[in-house]
Chain A
Amino acid sequence: MTDSNLRLEGELTIYTAQDTRQRLVQVLAADDAPDVLRMDLSAVTETDTAGIQLLLAAREHARARGREVRFAGMAQSVEAAIQLLGLEDAFADARDDAPPDAACAGAYAGACDEAVAPTA
């Protein structure tokens, strides 16, 4: 079973969506594509719906070919987006690390933090 790592950095948003999709397709569609692709998302600074969609599509793409995409090191912005969209289950068994406590209201506050400038 071949493993491979892919690290995403910076924005995972509509602004970087095209490029990110390109990268993902390249890695996943190659003849020598790995059986398990581990995506390190700990360095993602910002996530939006487009970003989450890409993660979902990547997962599905791999699954359809009998392979797998797993996630390690979810950055806070990614976690928050997943929680807001109610996609915890979709990502639950794809994580290499334990997800945060979903009932923690802090996650929602965290989501709000992104939108608010730091208080004086």
Chain B
Amino acid sequence: MDMDQALQTFITESRELLAEMESALLIVADAEDRGDAVNAIFRAAHTIKGSAGLFGIDNIVSFTHHVESVLDRVREGTVGIDGDLVVLMLGCNDYIGRLVERVAEGCEDDDPDLAGEAAGLLERLGAHLDTPAADTACGATQAGAYRGDNGGYPGADGDTLGTADHWHISLRFHEGVLRNGMDPLSFVRYLHKLGQVTGVACQTGRLPPLEAMDPEACYLGLEIGLDSPADKATIESTFEFVLDDCDIRIIPPRSRTADYMLMIEELGEEPAMLGEMLVRCGTLTPRELDEALRAQRSGEADGPLGEILIRQQTVAEPVVDRALAKQRQAKDSKHQESRSMRIDADKLDHLISLVGELITASSGASVAAARAGNAELQACNSQVADLVEAVRDSTLQLRMVKIGATFNRFRRVVHDVSRSLGKHIELAVRGEDTELDKTVVERIGDPLTHLVRNAMDHGIESREARLALGKPAHGTITLDARHESGHIVIEVSDDGAGLNRERIVAKAIERGLIEDGRGMRDEDVFRLIFEPGFSTAPAVTDLSGRGVGMDVVKRNIEALRGSVEVFSRAGQGSTVAVRLPLTLAIIDGFQVVVGRSLFVLPLDMVDECVAYTPVEGRDYTDLRGQVLPFIRLRRMFDLPGPAAARENIVVVRHAGERIGLVVDTLLGETQAVIKPLSRLFAQARGISGSSILGSGEVALILDVPALMAEARNSAMAGHARLSV
């Protein structure tokens, strides 16, 4: 139903606003020019309050109102921003977030735990307002604050009662407003919260006969008189969601009678009737109305009204235009590219899978055309294949999101964790514009969080230790992302103490992972920290050090067909580099044959192909003067049959290392739609998926990093490879 859709929009936008508010809160204490940040925080809270009011979500409205009151004081300068206020505001931000989530889940009843939390927060907020506990009592009863306790003047936070001005609001709803999920009743209800409604008059002239009307359309208009200390922005913001479905005119306080006549003129309705409505609203007195009507009828009004028209344009801009301009402005500042769309994730996934099928079908058509030997058919299919490839690239692009949003989430993590550790740690972010697949982004969050917490907890030394070493007192965590040969590389670096090689070796020996650390390269020692149950933290802190972390991180990353590596310099810091493929769905592949089996290699890892001339007893070959170790796939996968007379080596490259794969035949480039292996084959090493080729045959996709690791392991274990 449309109402649900509008509510969905509210939930999504509230989440975004809360995220904006959080970002602004994290920088406001240190910012040079606080004004912008404070305004951003206030705006976010204010908008959430307004929108919640439209949907009648009173608990959010009343809580956010208290937050707003404190923020108002901050804007005025009567309350200063310090670390504690930021923490309090972050707490409020979290609480509002939980209320929004409850709305999203459809929970209607109250949660006593949440109410308790609210009471605590409200009490601390109240301290900044110097208001007695009366406010906190209201807070706990949610909408109570608005029910006559303050006389319906939310602007009065106990101290000063702002002078209430009289506003006149004229609303002419369009027919579609009800269908779009908005109801005039909720606007009136909300205005009751902004002040004292002096009168409401309903314009029913447009209502068609019963049998002719559309029961789901709206034919009503409203004239409303409102006494309120609220400012124009607040009153205007009431109608932010309904600008497209309603003609709105707001006449500010201390307007002249002529201004009202101008509005009447613009509305084009019967002046006398309209005038009656204005009187009913308490906006005009009967005498003023008489005068105005008389003036208009006698034509005196033409002159002055005309002047007023010009003055109107400079003084009281028409509400609708201003609101639209404001809306446009807000939108532009929010999205750098003002043209973007929200897309349902499921629809996108469906499209991708259809494109996958399309690729397979197109391959099949090409194969069939080749077999038929029809030149024209082949040419046409080649065109189709090119277009399909273009569609594939475009579609995959749709799934790419910038990693910046994920990185920025860590600001909060770093802020909170550094406070709890008592260390001063800053976060530097680079490569925010680097894009990666949406599913990868979702699944990389947890591993990254662990890596960041680890770096903060174990990597960065305490303030004293750092100063003693001549390092700056604050530590820095750096997040970096870049593209590298078909992969995305994400690095978490810290400028802390670096990994302690001796301690790692000692622990590994203790756990029976290795016998002896001598002769091991540094990178092999560091790789040990990814073994399950490994932790060198002398004390298990709350965050990490329980030893369940790094191996889970490695497993999660490998589940994404990625790899992880640690680099470190004692005393200088460490870097954890996570490598992930750019896309999980479709790859450009290179097909090879070994025996009767078909394999596909990711094309971006293939460097070159050379003919293979076997040398007795050797597992490496001479490639232009350089040693190239190789793996015989036939042996690796235990494939039956004798080796072909002529074999080939495909040289693949990953993470700076090169290795050769010995195969029988090279078949060339192909596009492969990756189908994941079922759980039965999860143990298979060296295979990362399967693909159905155009010919209908199944090819196995080789996991090059895994093959390289295998080769490395067997070399380390000292197996001698015998050539056949």
**A residues at B contact (CB < 8 Å):** 14, 17-18, 20-21, 24-25, 28-29, 48-50, 53-54, 56-58, 60-61, 64, 81, 84-87, 90, 105, 108-109, 111-112, 114-120
Of B199-207, B658-666, B696-704, the one touching chain A: B199-207
Distance, CA A64 to CA B67, complexed state (A): 54
Q: Does A119 lie within 8 Å of B141, measured CB to CB?
A: yes
Q: Does B216 lie within 8 Å of A14, measured CB to CB?
A: yes
Select which of A17, A18, A61, A87 is within 8 A of B211 by beta carbon: A61
Cβ contacts under 8 Å, B59 to chain A:
116-117
Distance, CA A39 to CA B110, complexed state (A): 36
Q: Does B213 lie within 8 Å of A57, measured CB to CB?
A: yes
Cβ contacts under 8 Å, B57 to chain A:
115
Decide if B108 is an interface residue (CB 8 Å cutoff).
yes
Distance, CA A118 to CA B204, complexed state (A): 34
Select which of A17, A48, A57 is within 8 A of B185 by beta carbon: A48
Cβ contacts under 8 Å, A20 to chain B:
215
Given contacts A17-B216, A112-B146, A112-B147, contact A53 B207 (CB under 8 A): yes
Cβ contacts under 8 Å, B58 to chain A:
112, 115-116
Q: Does B183 lie within 8 Å of A25, measured CB to CB?
A: no
Decide if B81 is an interface residue (CB 8 Å cutoff).
no
Chosen A-B contacts, 6 in total, with CB atoms closer than 8 Å, are: A60-B207, A86-B199, A105-B148, A114-B56, A116-B143, A118-B110
Decide if B372 is an interface residue (CB 8 Å cutoff).
no
Cβ contacts under 8 Å, B199 to chain A:
86
Interface residue total, chain B, C-beta cutoff 8 A = 46
Question: Interface digits, B124-146 against A, CB 8 Å rule (1 contact, 0 not)?
Answer: 00000000000000001111101
Q: Does A87 lie within 8 Å of B202, measured CB to CB?
A: yes
Q: Does B56 lie within 8 Å of A115, measured CB to CB?
A: yes
Q: How far, in Å, is A117 (CB) from chain B's closest CB?
A: 5
Q: How far, in Å, is B247 (CB) from chain A's closest CB?
A: 16
Distance, CA A24 to CA B210, complexed state (A): 8
Q: How far, in Å, is B635 (CB) from chain A's closest CB?
A: 69
Distance, CA A20 to CA B211, complexed state (A): 12
Q: How far, in Å, is B175 (CB) from chain A's closest CB?
A: 11
Q: How far, in Å, is A21 (CB) from chain B's closest CB?
A: 4
Distance, CA A114 to CA B55, complexed state (A): 11
Q: Does B148 lie within 8 Å of A109, measured CB to CB?
A: yes
Distance, CA A27 to CA B201, complexed state (A): 30
Select which of A50, A85, A112, A117 is within 8 A of B202 by beta carbon: A85
Select which of B147, B188, B211, B213 is within 8 A of A84 by beta carbon: B188
Nearest B residue to A119, CB-CB = B141
Question: Interface digits, B181-198 against A, CB 8 Å rule (1 contact, 0 not)?
Answer: 001111011001000010
Within 8 A of A (CB), among B210-236: 210-211, 213, 215-216, 218-220, 222, 224
Nearest A residue to B141, CB-CB = A119
Select which of A17, A85, A117 is within 8 A of B200 by beta carbon: A85
Decide if B280 is an interface residue (CB 8 Å cutoff).
yes
Q: Does A85 lie within 8 Å of B210, measured CB to CB?
A: no
Distance, CA A28 to CA B209, complexed state (A): 12
Distance, CA A48 to CA B56, complexed state (A): 13
Q: Does B143 lie within 8 Å of A57, measured CB to CB?
A: no
Given contacts A50-B215, A61-B211, contact A86 B142 (CB under 8 A): no
Q: How far, in Å, is A114 (CB) from chain B's closest CB?
A: 8
Distance, CA A111 to CA B215, complexed state (A): 23
Cβ contacts under 8 Å, B218 to chain A:
49-50, 53
Q: Does A53 lie within 8 Å of B213, measured CB to CB?
A: yes
Select which of B142, B201, B204 is within 8 A of A119 by beta carbon: B142
Q: Does B200 lie within 8 Å of A86, measured CB to CB?
A: yes
Q: How far, in Å, is B598 (CB) from chain A's closest CB?
A: 58
Q: How far, in Å, is B97 (CB) from chain A's closest CB?
A: 19
Q: Does B189 lie within 8 Å of A115, measured CB to CB?
A: yes
Cβ contacts under 8 Å, A28 to chain B:
210
Distance, CA A95 to CA B58, complexed state (A): 32
Cβ contacts under 8 Å, B184 to chain A:
49, 85
Cβ contacts under 8 Å, A114 to chain B:
56
Q: Does B215 lie within 8 Å of A21, measured CB to CB?
A: yes
Cβ contacts under 8 Å, A81 to chain B:
185
Nearest B residue to A120, CB-CB = B110
Q: Does A49 lie within 8 Å of B210, measured CB to CB?
A: no
Nearest A residue to B177, CB-CB = A49
Question: Interface digits, B539-553 against A, CB 8 Å rule (1 contact, 0 not)?
Answer: 000000000000000
Q: Which 5 A-B pairs have the closest CB atoms?
A: A115-B56, A86-B200, A17-B215, A61-B210, A120-B110
Distance, CA A120 to CA B148, complexed state (A): 19
Cβ contacts under 8 Å, A120 to chain B:
110, 112, 115, 140
Q: How far, in Å, is A44 (CB) from chain B's closest CB?
A: 14
Given contacts A85-B188, A115-B56, contact A50 B142 (CB under 8 A): no
Cβ contacts under 8 Å, B211 to chain A:
25, 29, 61
Q: How far, in Å, is B230 (CB) from chain A's closest CB?
A: 17
